[in-house]
A and B are shown apart, each in its own frame.
Chain A
C-alpha cells in the first residue's frame, strides 16, 4: 500500500510522517499531483489558517485534485475543516466535500479559545474502532464543525461538535491522531485498514 501525505504549507506534516513511521506504514510526503492521484490512500494534514491555506492549495492546483480523489482520503484538523463548504475563519470558501460550515467557538460560557488539550470521544460509529468510545485525543483548534449527518464521533466543548466525520471516500478528524498517544495510533491504523 502506498500512502501519499499531501505536502503544503501546513505545520504538522512532519508529525504525521513520524506517526506513520511508528506504525511501520510506507508513505511519501508529496505535492506531485500524479503521485497523489495514484496513491492507495491520501492524508491531508493541516495546522494553520484557513484562507491562506486555501489560497496556497488553489495556487498549486491542489484544490481540484483533492476534491476529485476516489481513494480513501483522511483530513486532519485544518485538513478536515478545509474539506467542508465554508469556514468562518476569515470567511473562506473551502473544498465543499462535506456540505457543512465551520464555525468559531463562542467566547461565552467562559470557554477558552483555542480548545486545547485532551478531550473525550463520544457517539463513535462508522469507520472508527468502537473500543475508542470515551478515550481521549488531543485537540488544538478555535473553529469547529457542528454535528451533522456525516459525524462519526462527537466531542463536547460547551456544545457537541464533530470530532470525526466520513462521507463516501472522505474521512476526517478534528483532533491530532499523530499526537494522541495510543488512541491516536489506533485511529490512524483504522484509516490504514479501511
Chain B
C-alpha cells in the first residue's frame, strides 16, 4: 500500500542549516548533511532543502552541498529556493537532487513549469504555493509570502498541474508557525481537485495534526520544520502514532 510521507524541511544559508536547530545527538547541527542523514535514519520519507540565500555565489555553494547530501543520504530529496530558469535546475539534478521546487518564478512566468517539465519530467517538478485567506478567498503570495498576487490557490494549483507540475506543496501562511494544525479545508479541496500528489505545509504542532492532515485533508505527504528541528515531534514516535491511527505509514 502506498504510504503517507513525512517530510522535514531544512532552510539553508551559506551552505549551513539556519540557526535554531536543537538536535541533541548531533555534533554539528549546522551541518545539513549530518542533519539530513539523522532524519533519514529516524525514518523521514523525504527531505526538502530550501536555499534562503539568493546570490549567484551562494548558489554555487548550494549545488556543492546538494552533491554532498546526495552522496550521504539514501532517501529522496527536493531542493528549492530562487530557482527561476531551466539553467538553474540542471546542475541541481545532476548533483543528485530528485526534485526541485519552484514558487515565485512560476507565478511570474508560468511557462517555466512547462519548460521544466519538458526538460526534466513532471515527476521532479514540485510547485510550491504559499497562500492565505483574503476576504474569504485563498490568495497566492510570493517572495516568502511577502507579495500578494492576483492568483487564487485552487485555480493556480490546477494550472500548475496542467502545465506539468508533478506535485503541489501547499503552505498555508495563516497556519504557518501557529502550531495549531494544518489548513484542512483547502487541503481537502486541493486533493479533490488535483490528480497529482499534494504536500501539506504550515501549522504542524503535534502528532494529531499530521493524522488530521492525512485523514481529513487527504494529503499525500506532510511537511514541517521547527517542530522536527527542536525535537518537539520525533519522527519515530510520530510514525508509531499514525500507524496506530490506521494511516498507511512506512
Give residues in A with beta carbon < 8 Å to B.
11-12, 14-15, 18-19, 21-22, 47-49, 107, 112-120, 136, 138-142, 156-157, 176, 178-182, 184-185
A116 touches B166 (CB 8 A): yes
B124 touches A11 (CB 8 A): yes
Give residues in B with beta carbon < 8 Å to A.
1-5, 40, 45, 70-72, 74-76, 93-96, 98, 120-124, 166-167, 194-197, 220-221, 250
Residues of B within 8 A of A116 (CB): 123, 166-167, 197, 220
A118 touches B40 (CB 8 A): no
* Residue of B75, B123, B194, B220 touching A47 (CB-CB under 8 A): B123
SS class, residues of chain A in contact with chain B: mixed
What's the count of A-B pairs with C-beta under 8 Å? 89
15 A-B residue pairs with Cβ-Cβ distance under 8 Å, sorted by A, are A11-B120, A18-B70, A19-B74, A107-B195, A114-B122, A114-B197, A116-B220, A117-B2, A117-B3, A117-B4, A117-B197, A117-B220, A138-B76, A176-B76, A179-B74
* Residue of A48, A118, A138, A156 touching B121 (CB-CB under 8 A): A48
- Cα A178 to Cα B40 in complex, Å, equals 13
B123 touches A117 (CB 8 A): no
Residue from A47, A114, A117, A142 having most chain B Cβ neighbours under 10 A: A117
- Cα A114 to Cα B123 in complex, Å, equals 7
Residues of B within 8 A of A136 (CB): 3, 250
A52 to chain B, nearest CB (A): 10
B70 touches A117 (CB 8 A): no
* Residue of B2, B96, B122, B195 touching A118 (CB-CB under 8 A): B2
CB nearest to A107 among chain B residues? B195
B93 touches A11 (CB 8 A): yes
Asked, given contacts A118-B250, A184-B74, whether A179 binds B98 with beta carbons under 8 Å apart, the answer is yes
- Cα A50 to Cα B208 in complex, Å, equals 42
CB nearest to B45 among chain A residues? A118
Extra pairs beyond A113-B196, A118-B250 (11, CB < 8 Å)? A12-B98, A22-B72, A112-B195, A114-B122, A118-B2, A118-B45, A119-B2, A138-B76, A140-B98, A140-B123, A157-B2
